[in-house]
Amino acid sequence: MTRFKYLIVAVSFCLGIILFGTALCMLPEIPAYATAADTNDNEQETNTDEEEDNEETTERSSEYGPTENAPNASDEKTAPSTGNDGFVISFDGEEGNLSSTVRILLVLTVLALAPSILVLLTSFTRIIIVLHFVRIAVGTQTAPPNQVLIGLALFLTMFIMWPTFSQINENAIAPLDANEITQEEAIEEIEIPIRNFMYGQTQEKDLDLFCDIAEITYNDYDDVPFRVLVPAFVLSELRTAFIIGFLIYIPFIVIDMVVSSVLMAMGMMMLPPTTISLPFKILLFVMADGWDLIIGSLVKTFY
């Protein structure tokens, strides 16, 4: 075995020497270094070529250069001097409107904050919480799934908020695109319909709570700052959604209690009551047309 290893090492060494020699034979010949005389000749040729190029450029400039009557033919600056030759930004808008680049930046910012705006300033909060309570009360853990509940809540939010969105489009977005109003006026027009919607859903005690915290007194709803109105609106939506969820829970709790009492009377204490009560709760929900009642009653709470 040892001899076999030595043989393999010797063969590998021989192959390495052969490959190294082959590589040396395949290398191209290295050109000789240029002499000093050749270098001087090359420098003289380069200088001659540069002189010829300069003469051609001068001739072209004299033939095709700017005339005396041509605009901007002199070396004087056409822009007003500001005392330094640094980077200067000019603003040509007379109406105070923002440039298209700034508008795109604002639009991207609004799109980034769109989920928060959708959750806090619309009816989405109340709807999604009520639908979540319905699923828990019936006892189905993942039916309907979260994607279905969120999609249903989104379309119901669009249905409820459509008059508000229409007012925003007519009074703010369309005039802004037509350059009839400025950005400040558009923001004010957008705020009016949203405030009117939130005023109708905000309870007075929630509004007074945040006004007391912020040490603000108001005689009219229009005097309440937007930063105070938004948390008061969200708190009212949470309270209303939990009240509706409690009312939805009551009939299903009754079914659970009845099924538990029957199972205990029959001595089936090891059998989970939810296993038996789930079909009865689904049957009750379907026979009472629960989705129609819940969605209809939920939407009517905003009118």
Instruction: Assign 3-class secondary structure to the chain.
Output: CHHHHHHHHHHHHHHHHHHHHHHHHHCCCCCCCCCHHHHHHHHHHHHHHHHHHHHHHHHHHHHHCCCCCCCCCCCCCCCCCCCCCCCCCCCCCCCCCCCHHHHHHHHHHHHHCHHHHHHHCCCHHHHHHHHHHHHHHHCCCCCCCHHHHHHHHHHHHHHHHHHHHHHHHHHHHHHHHCCCCCHHHHHHHHHHHHHHHHHHHCCHHHHHHHHHHHCCCCCCHHHCCHHHHHHHHHHHHHHHHHHHHHHHHHHHHHHHHHHHHHHHHCCCCCCCHHHHHHHHHHHHHHHCCHHHHHHHHHHHCCC
Q: What is d(CA 211, CA 213) in angstroms, rounded to the nearest whole number?
A: 5
49-74 in b/e form (b: 16+ CB < 10 A) is eeeeeeeeeeeeeeeeeeeeeeeeee
pLDDT average, residue stretch 288-295: 89
> Where does the pLDDT of residue 188 fall: very low under 50, low under 70, confident under 90, or very high at 90 and above?
confident
> Where does the pLDDT of residue 226 fall: very low under 50, low under 70, confident under 90, or very high at 90 and above?
confident
> Where does the pLDDT of residue 240 fall: very low under 50, low under 70, confident under 90, or very high at 90 and above?
very high
Specify the range with the lowest mean pLDDT, choosing from 17-26, 108-117, 164-173. Answer: 17-26
Tell me what pLDDT residue 49 has. Answer: 57
Tell me what pLDDT residue 7 has. Answer: 54
> Where does the pLDDT of residue 241 fall: very low under 50, low under 70, confident under 90, or very high at 90 and above?
very high
Tell me if the pTM is above 0.75. Answer: no
pLDDT at 68 over 60: no
pLDDT at 19 over 70: no
> Where does the pLDDT of residue 244 fall: very low under 50, low under 70, confident under 90, or very high at 90 and above?
very high
> Where does the pLDDT of residue 101 fall: very low under 50, low under 70, confident under 90, or very high at 90 and above?
confident
Tell me what pLDDT residue 77 has. Answer: 47
- Mean pLDDT in the chain? 75
Counting other chains too, the contacts that 120-125 makes at CB distance below 8 Å and 24 or more residues apart are 120/230, 120/233, 120/234, 121/194, 121/198, 121/230, 121/233, 122/157, 122/160, 122/161, 123/156, 123/157, 123/160, 123/161, 123/201, 123/237, 123/302, 124/153, 124/154, 124/157, 125/234, 125/237, 125/238, 125/241
> Where does the pLDDT of residue 259 fall: very low under 50, low under 70, confident under 90, or very high at 90 and above?
confident
pLDDT average, residue stretch 46-55: 58
pLDDT at 90 over 70: no
Tell me what pLDDT residue 155 has. Answer: 92
* Cα angle: 183, vertex 189, 195; to 5 degrees: 130
State how far Cα 294 lies from the chain centre.
32
Side-chain-side CA neighbours of residue 206 (13 Å)? 19
